[in-house]
Amino acid sequence: MPKILDYDHLEFFVGNAKQAAYYYRMAFGFRLTAVAGLETGVRDRASYLLEQGTIRFVLTTPLGPEHPAADHHKLHGDGVRSVALLVDDVPGMYRQTTANGAKGIQEPTELTGPDGSVQIASVATYGDTIHTFIDRSKYTGIFLPGYQPVEKDTLSRPANLQLVDHVVGNVEWHSMEKWVEYYERVFGFHKFWSVDDKQLYTEYSALRSTVVADPTERVKFPINEPAKAKRKSQIEEYVDYYRSAGVQHVAMHTENIIETVTKLRENGVEFLRIPSSYYETLEQRVGKIDEDVKTLARLGVLVDRDEYGYLLQLFTKPVEDRPTLFLEVIQRKGGRSFGLGNFKALFEAIERDQAARGNLTE
Ligand code: FE2
């Protein structure tokens, strides 16, 4: 049985990877470590590999309308094309997932270069998003053949983000169950956590969410769908602007959220604004925590507790002009859930921005 070992990278299709790379380096603290493009013998696209901790983002832009990233970008704007997974057996994973009903996108292929070879394949998931499987156990070079290392990134302003915690998909009305079942059937994932619209609602909008995880629970994919309420759900706003299901947010873990968020704010990252009233009842709700509540309030960090411990988290505003993808910073101090106690404060913050965009409609 082939196994998923970890997240490998997230590949974004963007309109201008050179400029987007600058943003993720200056604002989010990623290091530019490798590039692929005309100078490295790649004729149809430019890709920038950005790294921080074990997190890898690849920003890809097409060099002409023939490249599939061009159509993708026209329809979706900037967004995540591939949630790539490190596996121990690429052909086995491709065979198993396609036999279980996944649509194949790229058959198992060996990419070869002077530093060895990498096995790669991909299958479709929600919307135009794909999962790429990668095995680089026979490769000693940087990232993938075709990439050249960048010696030193003098622009990067590191924020000590360490690893991908979870990657969230927004799907269309009434299709969450279908996609949960897809991950169970195709990948052998199981349900890890879920909330329904009786728990997840505000005065105006509602959603349902189920988290699926691989057998080791290293890889976790929450799947959200809109639910019926007075006004348009933020999930529906996303789907309207992304023009399909897609990745809503990527959560990145830090071991010190206060230091990380202080740095990100200095770098100019914009976070959702949390009302000060949230902090007045915080300790009543979550009990004693190690952090100073005034500091958390100043930084806008949210806290939630579950039976295992607690977690601290906060969310950026969308990182492109369409109100689609955003990023999350999370620190887990034992807490294994997804901040149910914060959803209401969070959604109200999102709704204020949604109303400002003229999209909190009936
Ligand atoms: Fe999240």
Domains of the chain (ranges; CATH) run: 4-149 (3.10.180.10), 163-357 (3.10.180.10)
**Residue 123: is its pLDDT beyond 80?**
yes
CA of 356 to the centre of ligand 1 (A): 23
Does pLDDT of 197 surpass 80? no
In the reported structure, the alpha carbon of residue 192 is separated from the centroid of ligand 1 by a whole-number distance in angstroms of 14
Q: Would you say residue 202 has pLDDT above 80?
A: no
Mean pLDDT of 172-192: 96
First to last CA, the chain: 48
Quick check: 266 pLDDT over 80?
Answer: yes
Q: What is the mean pLDDT of residues 79-92?
A: 98
Q: By percentage, how much of the chain surpasses pLDDT 90?
A: 83
Sign of the alpha-carbon dihedral angle for 166, 172, 176, 178: negative
- Taking the C-alpha atoms of residue 125 and residue 136, their distance in angstroms, rounded to an integer, is 23
CA distance linking residue 148 with residue 144, whole number of Å? 9
164 CA from centroid of ligand 1 (Å): 11
Mean pLDDT to the nearest integer, 296-314:
95
Q: Which of 102-106, 310-314, 341-345, 350-354 has the lowest mean pLDDT?
A: 341-345
pLDDT score for 342: 84
Residue 274 has what pLDDT?
87
Q: pLDDT value at position 351?
A: 85
Predicted model pTM:
0.96
**Whether residue 200 has pLDDT greater than 80:** no
227 CA from centroid of ligand 1 (Å) = 18
Determine whether 12 is exposed, middle or buried from the number of CB atoms within 10 Å of its CB (0-12, 13-18, 19+): buried
pLDDT at 198 over 90: no
For residue range 137-181, list pLDDT tens digits in order. 999 999 999 999 999 999 999 999 999 999 999 999 999 999 999
Give distance in angstroms: CA of 3 to centre of ligand 1: 24
- Residue 181 CA to ligand 1 center (angstroms) comes to 20
Cα(68) to centroid(ligand 1), Å: 29
Residue 361 — very low, low, confident or very high, per pLDDT cuts 50/70/90? Answer: confident
